Structure 1
Amino acid sequence: MTQVLHIVGGGMAGSEAAWQAAEMGVDVIIHEMRPTVGTFAHQTGNLAEMVCSNSFRSDDDEQNAVGLLHWEMRAANGLIMTTAYEHRLPAGGALAVDRDPFAETVTAKLRAHPRVTVTDEEVTTLPDDGQWIFATGPLTSPALGEAIRAETGSDALAFFDAIAPIVYADSIDMSKAWMQSRYDKGETEEERTAYLNCPMDRVQYEAFIDALLAADKTEFHEGETAGYFDGCLPIEVMAERGRETLRHGPMKPVGLTNPHAPDVKPHAVVQLRRDNALGTLFNIVGFQTKMKYGAQTDVFRMIPGLENASFARLGGIHRNTFINSPTLLDAQMRLKSKPNIRFAGQITGVEGYVESAAMGLLAGRMAAAEILGRDLPEVPKDSAMGALIHHITGGAEAKTFQPMNVNFGLFRPVDGLKGGRRGRKDRYKAYTDRAKTEWQTWLDQC
């Protein structure tokens, strides 16, 4: 009788792992504690629910490492990426999705798969037998977190994630705001107008920064250290680093022309991205925050065009945990002290929906191959998948290990290409060409 693969957590990584294993012919049980046990950030019991953003970031598979990861996942029949394309929203060069239909479709596909069973139960221990993948994500339950700490002999590392607010479109003043993607990027008119822009002059910007710095913010519990992942910093933390920081980050005014005042260059611009296919909800881009709810409404309504904004969701902050994977995991993503257990997703120290799903894809294939008695060839290090898994399972310095997005800095140099500004475009294209060849060869051998 074929052994069952148990997957704990039905987020991006767990859903992708389950799909890959089931497609290889292995029976899978997904143990997802929601909706029986809720979390701070989740609002439904759907699998693959998106809580921090509706974006999978850049879709450029020739000049961007995360776009390359998109390509590799699609080539591997990845559930997350194929479903993302089914529910794609205009977002310039990014891959943004209609988050609720996306999660509903992932859930339906998995529940309909003849080899997949979904249970709504909380797993609080690390089993001694059977094949398991733990993909519990950044909001691992306290009980399971304690079990992981007890097994690994050290505290799980921790940092804090913030989520951005969502605004109802009909509450935005379009006599002040306008639709335009930065530099008019996009192949269609819909893509070139994928973002909603709210301009600020210098006086408005300075007043906004003052209010942001003075606002009431969430206090951490005693003993908690407020470390943040740089890719998801709260806006007030960015503002504390310098008054111009936001103007060179999420509020940069470049590549945009205000049709209400075409001869006036904005000092700063707040961008909102469509959050659903109906266009009724907009996410404030880069505006993750730890401000208290009352302060958020006061401060965000200082933004021109949002004076009467109605919020479908306010921002918030939550604790995010991950293990020291270079120390604890082997090259097959197995826990060295309990090799019947694999980890996947954000808990391994990768950051982002795409990277989490990618590690789920590999963990699912590796676990299924082990159950079926098959040998998988080594994941090619020159692919985006290989660069990322190599980083978390041995390439990173364990003493300073922190969450990491996929990036070309993780890739081995391409022979014959030199660094420098002149050769960057050619270098990135060489990385992606090599990666695609290596990844397709690996898939053909599996």
Structure 2
Amino acid sequence: MSTELHIVGGGMAGSEAAWQAAEAGVPVVIHEMRPQVGTFAHRTGDLAEMVCSNSFRSDDDEQNAVGLLHWEMRAAGGLVMAMADAHALPAGGALAVDRDPFARAVTERLRAHPLVRVEPGEVAQLPRDGHWIIATGPLTSDRLAQAIRAETGEEALAFFDAIAPIVHFDSIDLSKAWFQSRYDKGETEAQRKAYLNCPMDRATYEAFIDAILVAPKTEFHEGETAGYFDGCLPIEVMAERGRETLRHGPMKPVGLTNPHQPDVKAHAVVQLRRDNALGTLYNIVGFQTKMKYGAQTQVFRMIPGLENASFARLGGIHRNTFLNSPTLLDEQMRLRTRPNIRFAGQITGVEGYVESAAMGLVAGRMAAAEIKGDTLPPPPRETAMGALIHHITGGAEAKTFQPMNVNFGLFPPIDANGGRRGRKDRYRAYTDRAKAAFREWLD
């Protein structure tokens, strides 16, 4: 049998899987259909291109599950985290990434690796021989999706992912907007000023909600139905759930003081986060949308400070397919009916850049071990990676399986009698336990 590992898809998961396997001494072929076959969301042919937010979310590895996942990936020599750190932007306590240099750096490192080669072109069928990882993400090509559906006998599960718009900084009115990270988080001035804030009074907010509700939205094809992932809801879906929903979500005004009117408490605040190192682009935080393009420009220019906004990219929406992994994958992330094929990344039912890359990391290590005649057990359930793998390969209820970000609810409970009763102490107990278990797994 061939000792090469073939990876379909060069996104976060595929790139990390390739790096881990190659670093273990296994030759890797990355099959990436872009740019020959494009997608709705991608703009380039680079590997690990970020198509939605530029944020890897919290980097706190003591109090936050995704921050713990960052720690685990760094400890495992992850390429995605190394390049994210190298191209980080100020973002308070979060890890935000300068997306284009990041993707170019990942691409360059992989192409320069002596055991990695990249073959352009679409893989449209499930291979019967060899060692494969399918990491095609939420935008799996139609032909490959059909092949997966035919093999699994499952109706494709799906939800819709929405993309937030990006604004040119020089078009923002700084006489109305101001720099401040919520609660002034961040160690440096640059980190505290990674966010721009646009305040709304009650009347402006109510008019804004009215405009969102009546704006024309993207219509789906007949017979195409799906839910939304709760962590990436379009703003109009949130608005439809209640007029106060946005004000208690991405537009919450807490932890912010307007220096233009320090004695006036904003009714709601729209935040924009720096999107590139030059500081020329800012994305509107939490403003994923399915509004049509013309409506977006009209509605978003109602935001104080964005009256003359110029958009580098408007929001959009795409269909996101994923496996019913609890019924289809074993604990080695292999397709039960074709164990020569592993799946990794968002197609397995994890949600988020970091979660997807982490599943690629484990799949790449497992595949490399198998090629070398060994078996690598999954990380312990007490770790962030292990908790995710357990969730997607049997821990979740198959009938109600939905994409999931990493969170402490996926971890085995901490003994409440262990002396750490408060939430802060409890989360620290989770991370301490996870780090110890992960170090043992690496060893």
Partner of 1:100: 100
Distance 1:378 1:175 in 2: 53
Q: TM-score, normalised by structure 2?
A: 0.99
Contact 1:8-1:135 at 8 Å conserved across structures: yes
Contact 2:362-2:378 at 8 Å conserved across structures: no
Amino acid at match of 2:279: G
Deviations 1:365-418 (A, max 9, x none): 000000011232442111111011011001000011000000000010123447
SS at match of 2:227: coil
Unaligned runs of 5+ in 2: none
Distance 1:405 1:193 in 2: 27
Partner of 1:128: 128
SS at match of 1:273: strand
Partner of 1:196: 196
Deviations 1:222-250 (A, max 9, x none): 01114100000000000000000000000
Distance 2:256 2:336 in 1: 52
Partner of 1:282: 282
Matched, 1:164 2:168: no
Distance 1:3 1:376 in 2: 17
Distance 1:419 1:409 in 2: 20
SS at match of 1:13: helix
Contact 1:65-1:384 at 8 Å conserved across structures: yes
Amino acid at match of 2:433: R
Partner of 1:437: 436
SS at match of 2:57: strand
1:260 Cα offset (Å): 0.4
Distance 1:279 1:173 in 2: 15
Contact 2:350-2:403 at 8 Å conserved across structures: yes
Partner of 2:325: 325
Partner of 1:423: 422
Contact 2:332-2:378 at 8 Å conserved across structures: no
Partner of 1:117: 117
1:45 Cα offset (Å): 0.4
C-alpha spacing 1:378/1:227, structure 2 compared with 1 (3 Å):
closer
Amino acid at match of 1:323: L
SS at match of 1:307: coil
Query: How is 1:61-76 mapped onto 2 (pairs within 5 angstroms)?
Result: 61-76=61-76
SS at match of 2:302: coil
Partner of 2:300: 300
Partner of 2:354: 354
Deviations 1:306-347 (A, max 9, x none): 000000000000000000000000000000000000000000
Contact 2:332-2:377 at 8 Å conserved across structures: no
Query: How is 1:202-241 mapped onto 2 (pairs within 5 angstroms)?
Result: 202-241=202-241
SS at match of 1:47: coil
Partner of 1:34: 34
Partner of 1:82: 82
Partner of 1:43: 43
Contact 2:2-2:131 at 8 Å conserved across structures: no
Distance 2:135 2:289 in 1: 26
Distance 1:438 1:160 in 2: 35
How many matched pairs?
443
Alpha carbon RMSD of aligned pairs, Å? 1.2
SS at match of 1:260: coil
Contact 2:232-2:288 at 8 Å conserved across structures: yes
Amino acid at match of 1:434: R
1:419 Cα offset (Å): 11
Distance 2:169 2:378 in 1: 48
Partner of 1:394: 394
Distance 2:378 2:287 in 1: 40
Distance 1:359 1:195 in 2: 30
Contact 1:417-1:423 at 8 Å conserved across structures: no
Contact 1:2-1:26 at 8 Å conserved across structures: no
Amino acid at match of 2:320: N
Distance 1:320 1:2 in 2: 32
Q: TM-score, normalised by structure 1?
A: 0.98
1:209 Cα offset (Å): 0.3
Unaligned runs of 5+ in 1: none
Distance 1:226 1:190 in 2: 40
Partner of 1:145: 145
Deviations 1:145-178 (A, max 9, x none): 0000000011120010000000000000000000
Distance 1:152 1:226 in 2: 19
SS at match of 1:69: helix
Partner of 1:312: 312
Contact 2:31-2:121 at 8 Å conserved across structures: yes
Query: How is 1:376-391 mapped onto 2 (pairs within 5 angstroms)?
Result: 376-391=376-391
Query: How is 1:265-276 mapped onto 2 (pairs within 5 angstroms)?
Result: 265-276=265-276
SS at match of 1:104: helix
Contact 1:12-1:80 at 8 Å conserved across structures: yes
